[in-house]
Amino acid sequence: QDQLQQKIICPGPVTCLTASPNGLYILAGVAESIYLWEVSNGNLLAILNRHYQDLTCLCFTDDSSHFLSGAKDCLALVWNLYSVLQVEPSQIPDPRHVWSRHSLPITDLCCGFGGPLARAATASLDQTAKLWEISSGELLLSVLFDVGIMAVTLDLSEYHMFCGGMDGSIFQVDLCAWPVQRDRTFQTERENGKVFKGHRNQVTCLSVSTDGSLLLSGSHDETVRLWDIQSKQCLKTMNHKGPVTNAFIVLAPANMFNPDGKPSVPLPKFSKHLHGTESNDEQGSEGVTLRLGLHQQECGESYLEKAERMYSQMYSTREKNLVGDQEHLTIQVSELEEEVSTLRKINKNLFDFSARIITKPAK
């Protein structure tokens, strides 16, 4: 068997985990706290405590600029990553939006495309799935089902929203249906053509292929199923030896098909203490660390401070040269005055010559 590349011990049981699409940061939910680590060096950059009960789900926007968190306290929070990184350690960062329209615990989150302009979907045990706008924080759509919703995802074109229920059913919601209604009820008996049936227990995860033709689902019935979205037929069933907690479709990396391919460099150990509070013995001196804003503490002067210092030195040197070489400056001024006087004479001669030519009477 392959050896583990790294075993990272976290401060407590991890209930949810996600990585930023750019690969720079890791988020983990431990009890009611959100832990933010920097992947390159394992530094713990922030601990966010704005939820009142255990975390259930975390996800990033596609540009890694924002992330969303959901918990058993029925709240879904939207965070600006760079605002979190810029806040002083003594202050508590504020989320950009607090969505409190669910009445029971949040079970899943899904973010569309568009970075801070994207739409996000939330699922809850209150039998609703809701669609939100991240930029404004407004609620765009709320769909009521007859069972609690455990998983939610969007297709690539964001034309459909797929919701997995506690009874094993998967519901397909058309986001562009007419007429447009903010509050909608999904009536299973009327929309039989939009329900995937096959799982015998609650659906825990959903994922759509990039071409929008296939849907992957995992369930507590110990199976993963691959569905054809158009016909709602199950194409393949993969059995497991326990409840499936997560499954998703990804593009296969090129290295996967290389027989000589080897695992990448293992991750560093993730720190259990906020960056800047560790003892000097624990901080390694190797490698290069890039940080934002206030995380440059104790790292010397910044680029702007260095540029300002060099400019002030250059300006003071110039002043000293002007004051110390007064005689040379006087000579330069006198030479310039002579040159100006000569140019004035040439200009006057040209003007007189032109005037004589223009006023000369015609023969």
The span from the CA of 301 to the CA of 308, in Å, is 11
The amino acid present at 37, given as its one-letter code, is W
Domains within the chain, CATH numbers bracketed: 8-100 (2.40.128.630), 105-250 (2.130.10.10)
* Cα Rg of the chain (Å, integer): 33
- Token pair, residue 119, equals 């739409």
Nearest Cα residue to 147 out of 174, 126, 131, 172: 126
Parallel, antiparallel or unpaired: strands 139-144 and 160-165: unpaired
The span from the CA of 23 to the CA of 222, in Å, is 31
The amino acid present at 64, given as its one-letter code, is S
The span from the CA of 6 to the CA of 93, in Å, is 31
Q: Strand runs (DSSP E) across 20-136, as ranges?
A: 25-30, 33-38, 44-48, 55-60, 66-71, 76-80, 97-99, 106-111, 119-124, 128-133
Q: Strand runs (DSSP E) across 134-239, as ranges?
A: 139-144, 149-154, 160-165, 170-174, 183-185, 195-196, 203-208, 214-219, 223-228, 233-239
Nearest Cα residue to 60 out of 32, 86, 22: 22
- Token pair, residue 1, equals 């068997």
Alpha helices by DSSP H, the chain: 81-86, 303-324, 326-359
Note the pTM of the prediction, 2 decimals: 0.73
- Token pair, residue 323, equals 């004051």
Q: What is the chain's pLDDT, residue by residue, as a tens digit (363 residues)?
A: 455 567 788 888 999 999 999 989 999 999 999 999 998 888 999 999 999 999 999 999 999 999 999 999 999 999 999 899 988 777 888 999 999 999 999 999 999 999 999 999 999 999 999 999 999 999 999 999 999 999 999 999 999 999 999 999 999 999 987 777 889 998 877 776 799 999 999 999 999 999 999 999 999 999 999 999 999 999 999 999 999 999 999 888 777 777 776 666 667 888 888 877 654 444 444 444 445 444 444 455 555 666 666 666 665 655 555 555 566 677 778 888 888 888 888 888 888 888 888 887 765
